[in-house]
Structure 1
Amino acid sequence: MSVPLQAAPYPLSTDKLPQASYLSGFTALLSGYAEPIGQYYDRLHQYRGAAQNPGNVESLGRDVKMTHLTNFTFDGAKADLSKVLSTDPAFQVQHSFNLASATQPPSYNFGAVYAMDKLFLRGSIDNDMSSSAQLNRTWNQYNTSKLQAQLSPVPGHSMIQLEHEVTLPGETISFKTINPSLTDGNGIYITSVLAAVHPRLSLGVENVFQKAQEATQNTPSFLAKLTSPLELANPFTSPPGSPPFHEWTATLQYQAQGILAATYHHKLSPNVDVAADLNIITAGGRREATATVGAKYEFRQSTFRGQVDSTGKTSMLLEQRFAPQFSFLVTGEIDHMKAGAAKVGLGVMIESATEELTQQMMAQQQAQQQGP
């Protein structure tokens, strides 16, 4: 059980939000016809009170994705071998092998991650000589720039994505472009805003503008996020230092083309999550709908995920941690609508580090086992 949070504003948000001096300075910089906009923003921020920043559009439904198996399931054999070379700054390399898959050919991928306080770099290359890179640069507490690139020997599979994100007290504004052309302006341009209008309700809009040759297309989307009141973690059932959390979160996204996506995530206990999502497509004369329900159980040495959807597929994933550096994975999927349509996957995850880092991880593991 969790204890309702009575005090306001919430301690979790006030440490990271700009103070009144920032808002006053924001208004002071505006003059003339723009000054009423700054005054309106100040009044809106005061009305919202303890409302937290709702995150960006991409974070909608993130809890549901972490509960379901969509981003975790695989078939065949899989092995991830990683080596931690440094912790300050963080530097890690990884070798990934995928074999015996019924849907994908055997593959190998080498990746590296380098991270500091305001800089994140990640790169990888596979056996087909396809490479990818990601760079995140945080300029200050309000502005972050992102770059993603992919180079592939297959024509048309290379891409570059540029993004700048502005994080304000109660809203996130994002500007993104994919494969922009400096000569004719072709490419994909995405602008999104997600703002808290109440401590529990956030609304947003996203517009996707595509230009190819002489053809252009605008696709607006409307977003909503509703949460339960922020609650404090129960000190008797949650790990020490656990932050406040929302017991449940519901999201809704509607595209003008006729696509509706809804999600619901509920935290039943510190170790049990359940989630559901619904996707409806009515574009182009289609009438399709898919619903998925899943759950995640966190045990002391393992994590279990299971889900079932309206197409007749039942899936599960078990991750067993024998040691901080070694995990064994088993996954399976059965399609009850298709005879003989079943997949099984086995995987291992091995992480090595220096002797000092290994001792630190072992000490943390023993502390968790001795905890409540």
Structure 2
Amino acid sequence: MGQMQAAGLYSPPPPPQTAPPAPSSPAKDDEPPAKEDKIENPGDMETLTKRAKDMLPQPFDGCKLVLNKGLSQFFQTSHTIQLGSNIQPAQYQFGATYVGSSQISDREYRPVMMGDMSSNGSLVGMLIHQYGNWRLKCNVQTDKSKWVVYQSTLDYIGSDYTASLTLGNPNLFQNTGVLVLQYLQSVTARLSLGAEVLFQKMPGMELSVLSLGANYRGIDWEAIGKIGMHQWSLCYLHHASDDLTLVAEFEGVPMQGESILSVGYKYDLRKANVSFKGVVDTQWNVSCIVEKRLDPLPATLTLSGLINHVSDKARFGIGFSLG
């Protein structure tokens, strides 16, 4: 939900969808619908451009160590240590995840509860629960002793549409807060159209923003767009093969006269258990992430690099995940 993020709200990463996690073959994005006239649920507006963004690397610097430990079939913990980062000081994070036994689909279970506490006192928490077609999502975030984000989203998931209502940071005493209405409809088996309306009330100021979204899926490509009065986001994915996906993303803020174009790729070398992600953008940033699964161990080695030839800056990171 791009407009919510622009308003200062935080959307934590999505929780694991299985309980317990089990290896499965990922669905092919280039697989066409089984029937041209079969219309399915298109998802929601909040995650409309998420698939394209997940294809692009998110570089980091310094050293990162992640240890995941499953304590039971439904409960697991994680420990993260990050050192030597130029972006943020060294810190330790403890996370806990609970996934319930109520099965929603082949790969989804509810409820899901996640919490993440860092050594500086910050906390991020999330709850997702679903009953029938109704889904509730609650997010909270604190910065030491201050509440930064507290928002709730109620979704109604229809057979070919999703309607959402989000209330963020409500304050009855100061009469402030954010209200977001979203709707995404499958028009055909390949085309989805949606709209988002954001209302924000601040001391002495009121703001409303309208955004329109669309998603069209071809046999081996996908085009996604989300255009609002304050922010544009256009994405294009091309599945060149089962292992290679090309991505182009354009983001702009018309009122500030700022825009950025990113072109990247994701390549999976399956026989070697290696995944490559690379991107170059119009701000002269060139970044890449390499992930190597260390079979038969449940471990992953990650190498990250970013260089900007104009500003003469470079960052390098190495990560290791176990469990």
TM-score range, shorter chain: 0.7 to 0.9
Match of 1:203 in 2: 193
Q: CA deviation at 1:5?
A: 5.8
Q: Which residue of structure 2 aligns with residue 149 of structure 1?
A: 140
Question: Are residue 262 (structure 1) and residue 246 (structure 2) matched?
Answer: no
* 1:92 counterpart = 2:76: yes
The equivalent of 2:105 in structure 1 is: none
Partner of 1:109: 93
Letter in 2 for 1:226: Y
Match of 1:249 among 205, 222, 233: 222
Q: CA deviation at 1:197?
A: 1.5
Aligned to 1:296: 266
- Residues in 2 aligned to 1:58 and 1:4: alpha-carbon distance in whole angstroms: 23
Q: Quote the offset at 1:298 in angstroms.
A: 1.3
Partner of residue 316 from structure 1, selected from 281, 288, 307: 288
For 2:80 and 2:285, the matched residues in 1 are separated by 27
8 A Cα contact 1:225 1:250, kept in partner: yes
- Match in the other structure for 1:347: 319
Specify the alignment match of 1:50 in structure 2: 38
Separation of aligned partners in 2, 1:288 and 1:103: 23
Residue by residue over 1:144-193, the C-alpha shift from the partner in whole angstroms, topping out at 9 and shown as x without a partner, is 001111122264x5221111011111111010011112445420111110
Report the Cα distance in structure 1 between the residues aligned to 2:29 and 2:77, rounded to whole angstroms. Answer: 39
Matched AA of 2:117: I
Amino acid across the alignment from 1:162: S
Match of 1:306 in 2: 278
> Within the alignment, does 1:65 sit opposite 2:53 as a pair?
yes
CA deviations 1:268-292 (Å, max 9, x no partner) are: 2222211110112220xx3222110
Structure 2 partner of 1:281: 253
- Map 1:153-172 → 2, pairs under 5 A: 153=144, 155=146, 158-172=148-162
Q: What residue identity is the alignment partner of 1:144?
A: R
Write the letter of the residue equivalent to 1:289.
S
Does the 8 A contact of 1:63 with 1:265 survive in 2?
A: no
Higher strand share: 2
C-alpha separation in 2, matches of 1:250 and 1:99:
39
Which digits, 9 at most, give the CA deviation of each residue in 1:272-327, with x for residues without a partner?
211110112220xx322211011111123111111111111111111111124111
Relative to structure 2, which stretch is displaced further, 201-210 or 59-68? 59-68
Larger radius of gyration: 1
SS at match of 2:51: helix
Taking the aligned partners of 1:189 and 1:154, their CA distance within structure 2 comes to: 25
- Change in CA separation of 1:186 and 1:6 when aligned onto 2, cut-off 3 Å: closer
- Give the match for residue 327 of structure 1: 300
Report SS of the residue matched to 1:311.
coil
Change in Cα spacing, 1:3 to 1:217, as seen in structure 2 (3 Å) is closer
Q: Contact 1:124/1:131 (CA < 8 Å) preserved in 2?
A: yes
Tell me which amino acid in the other structure corresponds to 2:52: V
Alpha-carbon contact 2:196-2:211 (below 8 Å) kept: yes
Structure 1 vs Structure 2 CA RMSD: 2.0
Report how far residue 213 of structure 1 moved: 2.8
Query: Is the aligned partner of 1:77 residue 2:63?
Result: yes
| Pairing of 1:32-51 with structure 2 (within 5 A) | 49-51=37-39
Check whether the contact 2:163–2:183 (CA below 8 A) recurs between aligned residues: yes
Q: Is the 8 A contact 2:92 2:118 kept in 1?
A: yes
User: Does the aligned pair in 1 maintain the 2:278–2:288 contact within 8 Å?
Assistant: yes
Q: Aligned in 2, Cα 1:105/1:149: closer, same or farther, shift over 3 Å?
A: same
State the shift of 1:215 in Å: 2.0
C-alpha separation between the residues in 2 aligned to 1:7 and 1:310? 39
Q: Is contact 2:164–2:183 with CA below 8 Å preserved after alignment?
A: yes
Residue 68 of structure 1 deviates from its aligned partner by: 0.2
Q: Which residue of 1 aligns with 2:13?
A: none
Structure 1 residue 59, shift from structure 2 partner: 1.7
Q: Higher helix share goes to which structure?
A: 1
Contact 2:41 2:159 (C-alpha < 8 Å) held by counterparts: yes
TM-score, normalised on structure 2? 0.83
**Equivalent position of 2:10 in the other structure:** none
Q: Aligned pair 1:122/2:114, yes or no?
A: yes
Change (3 A) 1:319 1:146: same
Could you tell me which runs of 5 or more consecutive residues in structure 2 were left unpaired when the two chains were aligned.
1-27, 103-109
Alignment: residue pair count:
285
Identity %: 27
CA contact (8 A) 1:202 1:224 kept: yes
